[in-house]
Structure 1
Amino acid sequence: NRNGKMCLPVKKEYRSSVPGSVIDKSATGATLFIEPEAVASMNSELELLKMEEENETRRILYELTAMVAENREVFEADKRLIEKLDYIFAKGKLSAAMEAKEPQINTERNIRIRNGRHPLMSREHAVPLSFELGDRGNGVVITGPNTGGKTVTMKTVGLFCIMAQCGLHVPCEEASLCMNNQVLCDIGDGQNISENLSTFSAHITNVLDILKKAGPESLVLLDELGSGTDPAEGMGIAIAILESLRQCGCLFLVTTHYPEVKGYAEAADGVENARMAFDRETLQPLYRLVQGEAGESCALFIAKKLGMPDAMLLRAEQAAYGNLKPERLQAESGGKKKKHVILPEGPRIRKQKEEKGIQKELAVKFTVGDSVLVLPDKKTGIVCRTVNEKGVLQVQLQDRKIWINHKRIKLLVAAEELYPEDYDFSIIFDTVENRKNRHQMERKHQEGVEIRMEEE
């Protein structure tokens, strides 16, 4: 086979003995590849058959494509339905795999978890977490040893809130979770001895962005608050950040090692200490959260350069060095009673509006088939459609149908007095063509027959 044609290898001196066309020759030129005349006619016929096959394939594909295009809306609706069903079944399989429970959703900004566990941790090895936030205050400061479970506790609370808002069950015995317009996090894993100013700068930038967005409907999670710099100044910044979170009214959960932060949490209103339990005899963490108890650089300059407000810097300076008098802090902040209200930049939760009673009341007053008087023309009509949420209903007049406000309608005779029970109102309101088509379609399928409904 040479160049897609069937050939015979013939020595050059016997070329005249084989009638046909030379298609190719060998590298030395001693052998010629000849397509015999009989084979050439067959090859031509084969090429024609291939062209016909290609045309038939293209025709079939065109027909299938046209059939799909005609039913495009059906295919798209099926696809959306399959996606929705797949999502529902996936949530169900995940809930069964995690042995999860349906959480309660509250609007009182409360989070309560009983015997919960991180979704990625096995049921056999995970220590159950019981946690409360909102009833006794808006913030919790968790302290404890390294690898004691502080970060896992924080991630579990955040994941539970996000999973609940996504319509997922959560792995616990019982949970009551609130809706949050945002879950704002600054959680840094992979901690090491080589932490430097660049790490601190990244944390401060992230925290300042969180403080701009946080509001009363937000949940804020901060891990190792104030770490990565000089302990004294980092502690001061940590307290300033906590003070700012407390004033904005959000729910927050932070971890720290600073003893001064524990003292702040104990003294500040709305902030509670918590610790990860530790076995002093074996010196091993127990990975159990105990609430209500506290467990065993150039930071200010960089924070100011990164945009931290002066009031927060003054509070950080006082907490770090103690050389700022309370009078000066009060003067800078404008007094104890004065609060600087900054509206958060993030989205807000839209509460569902209460349904108005007018639609329900008017639906009882006007029913389909009622004989009514249309004002001010004083024309008589029959109600086709009852009052909608805008207070408008449809009336059949002698020559047409109109939409009109319920205030311009006066009831003459109720439908129950005019028509027997289960009366078919399509006799009055439908066109003759629609009634005929509906009758045909009820008997059997009718190709090309349609029923046209009036749009509201």
Structure 2
Amino acid sequence: LFIEPAALSRLREELEVLRIEEDCEVRRILYQLTDEIAGYEEVMRDNLRMLVKLDVIFARGKLSSDLGAVEPEINTDGRIELAGARHPMIPADTNVPLDFRLGGGARGIVITGPNTGGKTVAIKTVGLFALMAGSGLHVPCERADICMANQVLCDIGDGQNIADNLSTFSAHIQNVLDILKRVTRESIVILDELGSGTDPAEGMGIAVAILEQLRESGCLFLATTHYPEVKTYAAGHEEILNARMAFDRENLKPLYRLEIGKAGESCALYIAKRLGMPDDMLEMAAQRAYGGISRELKTELRLEEGQKVRLPKLPSPTLEKMQNRKALQNRYSSFNRGDSVTVYPEQVIGIVVKPEDDMGNVLVQVKKEKRLINHRRLKLKVAASQLYPEDYDFSIIFDSVENRKARHQMGKHHVEGLVINAGADGE
């Protein structure tokens, strides 16, 4: 309930009138200024265009300064050469510079090498630099010679989508087919994990077919893969170069260095060893992959004879049996007189008049009406112990005024003809 003193009512009305007058004055000033500016619309638009141009120039300069970037040379001969290229999203203290060249006789590169070895970062760096140069930006490297491209077409990452009923493989193929429809000789195409997400033999065949289409289009393209057959296909065509990400087998660590002209291996066992896979699991993996494990591979993987080390188990949630949950619910299902409860499904508030009976029904007063309601439809809102003192007289809530007066008179002496409704408070 809101009560406004009469003395304030007049002041409030006056304040509202002043606010309206203030708003009208603001609008009048703005309309007048707008009208005066309208005569200089073309000049203002020219100023705005110049400010935008200056803002973009200064933003490019600040970005170049922050990244330590250089101005790239631009060509239209389909040639990309990068020296000491650094992906701007990788911290400088962990960034391994990329040396890259493509163009002239070779139009495509197939990059192989270990997982987590930097293949995807390498192709993303090339694609990003092509877009930056095409946008008039400097690029973070020591030297760059980048060709103009009419479009940079990419299929990178996992496009799995339940809503569209796309699997990982379906998403890749859908993207690649769209790329093949759009590609021209002036395009740059970047494909990650070519042919992955399906049967290895069929995936390899599809990867080779895609590369053949790209080779025939004459575009520049970069692709990463783990298929040995794709490396063999690349070696058989002078327009395509093999490349690999270097891996230090002695220390079981990737070096993140691109080596063009050499085919690499996935080094999955070495990576798994570095990431903590136990020796007995590595030995079984090698047995399944190669039909045996050579002494040389054992030495390189540093496998110890007969070592059985199980992966440590992390704490996990446990299942709770249904009967235990029911028992727990029953322990807390009773209600006390005076408890404030919520009645479902109406979600109205009531007060417990009488605790539940043998049938599980509770007498609840809802809006001065007493109703028997099953305890499962009730949820405790506030316990009576938090609402009332210990010796509180609940008849004040549950009994009528007439009955309370009658009880008071009956407590003093007998009154002829006096009637009390004994069930009014549920007792």
Q: Which runs of 4+ in 1 moved over 4 A?
A: 2-6, 42-58
Q: Tell whether the 8 Å contact from 1:111 to 1:176 is kept in structure 2 after alignment.
A: yes
C-alpha displacement at 1:75, in angstroms? 2.1
State the match for 2:37 in structure 1.
Answer: 68
Q: Pairwise mapping of residues 325-336 of structure 1 onto structure 2 (< 5 A)? A: none
State the match for 2:126 in structure 1.
Answer: 157
Separation in 2 of the partners of 1:119 and 1:48?
58
Separation in 1 of the partners of 2:81 and 2:13?
82
Deviation readout 1:291-320 (Å, 9 max, x if unpaired): 000002xxxxxxxxxxxxxxxxxxxxxxxx
- Gap change, CA 1:265 and 1:75, over 3 Å in 2: same
The SS at the match of 2:167 is helix
AA partner of residue 151 (structure 1): T
Q: Pairwise mapping of residues 366-377 of structure 1 onto structure 2 (< 5 A)? A: none
Q: Tell whether the 8 Å contact from 1:117 to 1:127 is kept in structure 2 after alignment.
A: yes
Matched, 1:257 2:249: no
Matched, 1:173 2:145: no
C-alpha displacement at 1:56, in angstroms? 4.4
Deviation readout 1:196-226 (Å, 9 max, x if unpaired): 9821111111111111111111100000000
Matched, 1:110 2:79: yes
AA partner of residue 146 (structure 2): L
Matched, 1:217 2:186: yes
Matched, 1:289 2:267: no
Separation in 2 of the partners of 1:114 and 1:148?
19
Q: Tell whether the 8 Å contact from 2:102 to 2:108 is kept in structure 1 after alignment.
A: yes
Separation in 2 of the partners of 1:140 and 1:46?
75
Q: Tell whether the 8 Å contact from 2:158 to 2:171 is kept in structure 1 after alignment.
A: no
Separation in 1 of the partners of 2:213 and 2:13?
86
Q: Tell whether the 8 Å contact from 1:197 to 1:228 is kept in structure 2 after alignment.
A: no
The SS at the match of 1:253 is strand
State the match for 1:238 in structure 2.
Answer: 207
Q: Bigger shift: 119-128 or 279-288?
A: 119-128
Deviation readout 1:162-221 (Å, 9 max, x if unpaired): 000000000000000001111110011599xxxx98211111111111111111111000
Q: Pairwise mapping of residues 315-334 of structure 1 onto structure 2 (< 5 A)? A: none
Q: Tell whether the 8 Å contact from 2:159 to 2:171 is kept in structure 1 after alignment.
A: no
C-alpha displacement at 1:280, in angstroms? 1.1
Q: Tell whether the 8 Å contact from 1:5 to 1:43 is kept in structure 2 after alignment.
A: no
Separation in 2 of the partners of 1:263 and 1:291?
15
Separation in 2 of the partners of 1:275 and 1:206?
25
Q: TM-score, normalised by structure 1?
A: 0.53
Q: Pairwise mapping of residues 243-392 of structure 1 onto structure 2 (< 5 A)? A: 243-296=212-265
State the match for 1:7 in structure 2.
Answer: 7
- Gap change, CA 1:150 and 1:189, over 3 Å in 2: farther
Separation in 1 of the partners of 2:130 and 2:70?
13
Separation in 1 of the partners of 2:152 and 2:13?
72
AA partner of residue 212 (structure 2): E
C-alpha displacement at 1:65, in angstroms? 2.1
Matched, 1:125 2:94: yes
How many residues get paired?
260
Give percent identity, aligned residues only.
63
| Structure 2 residue ranges without an equivalent (≥5) | 266-427
